[in-house]
């Protein structure tokens, strides 16, 4: 017989396995729901920002408040897509088993995922990326002291600016003269 908690934990671990090595900003954990972030920062103002480049499953919010330095933007992904994929996987598992205990457990799993899919949208939006534009540009050496030398340097296809990339989940956009960092993005760490 399968333990439901183990299945959920294994699924979460598999999906978010790359996050363990990711850097965090203001202790925001990737995969946290928007409701959790609002609780974590009760005095912050969260304002949704409509931009053309987000996908239909993504939302962009600006976080503002006393004590938050610079401009902070968070990109959240809608759990619904992941939930639908998980239900499809579970239904495939269901179709391929005749074990009654396993059928019971899979049906419980499907019901739990479906239950999450009907929660309020703020509980289904999960943190994917944090973008921070410091009030004043930072020296590149400041980031290198904290994170080491970047793993890769490349040019953005969007605005042609140079980008420093660390596989631990950080990328930094450089100023036009390439002496300063003007934007830092935190995301789940890349697999080596």
Work out the pLDDT band at 191, boundaries 50, 70, 90: low
Domain boundary among 127, 143, 158: 127
Among 2-16, 47-61, 138-152, the minimum mean pLDDT is found in 2-16
Does 95 share its domain with 142?
Answer: no
Whether pLDDT at 126 is above 70: yes
What are the tens digits of pLDDT across the range 152-162? 999 988 888 99
Does 31 share its domain with 81?
Answer: yes
Q: Which domain holds residue 162?
A: 134-192
Among 11-15, 26-30, 158-162, the minimum mean pLDDT is found in 11-15
Task: Provide the number of structural domains found in the chain.
Answer: 2
Average pLDDT over all residues of the chain? 86
Work out the pLDDT band at 82, boundaries 50, 70, 90: confident
Does 123 share its domain with 149?
Answer: no
Does 122 share its domain with 149?
Answer: no
Does 108 share its domain with 36?
Answer: yes
Q: Nearest Cα to 80, choosing from 55, 107, 62?
A: 55
Per-residue pLDDT, 6? 44
Q: What burial class does residue 5 get, using C-beta atoms within 10 Å of its C-beta: 0-12 exposed, 13-18 middle, 19+ buried?
A: exposed
- How far are the Cα atoms of 82, 85, 154 from residue 92, in angstroms, in the given order? 15, 11, 41
Q: Which residues pair with 75 in a beta bridge?
A: 60, 129
pLDDT above 70: percentage of residues in the chain? 86
């Amino acid at each position: 017989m399968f333990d439901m908690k183990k299945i959920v934990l294994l699924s979460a671990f598999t999906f978010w396995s790359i996050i363990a090595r990711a850097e965090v900003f203001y202790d925001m954990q990737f995969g946290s729901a928007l409701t959790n972030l609002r609780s974590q920062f009760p005095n912050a103002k969260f304002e949704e920002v409509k931009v053309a480049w987000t996908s239909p499953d993504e939302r962009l919010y600006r976080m503002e408040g006393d004590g938050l330095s610079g401009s902070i933007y968070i990109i959240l992904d809608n759990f619904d897509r992941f939930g639908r994929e998980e239900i499809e996987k579970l239904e495939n598992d269901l179709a391929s088993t005749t074990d009654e205990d396993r059928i019971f457990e899979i049906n419980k799993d499907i019901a739990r995922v479906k239950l999450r899919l009907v929660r309020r949208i703020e509980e289904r939006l999960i943190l994917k990326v944090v973008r921070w534009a410091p009030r004043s540009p930072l020296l590149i050496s400041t980031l290198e002291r904290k994170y080491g030398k970047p793993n890769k340097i490349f040019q953005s296809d969007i605005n042609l600016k140079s980008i420093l990339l660390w596989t631990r989940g950080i990328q930094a956009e450089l100023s036009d003269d390439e002496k300063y960092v003007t934007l830092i993005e935190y995301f789940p760490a890349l697999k080596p």
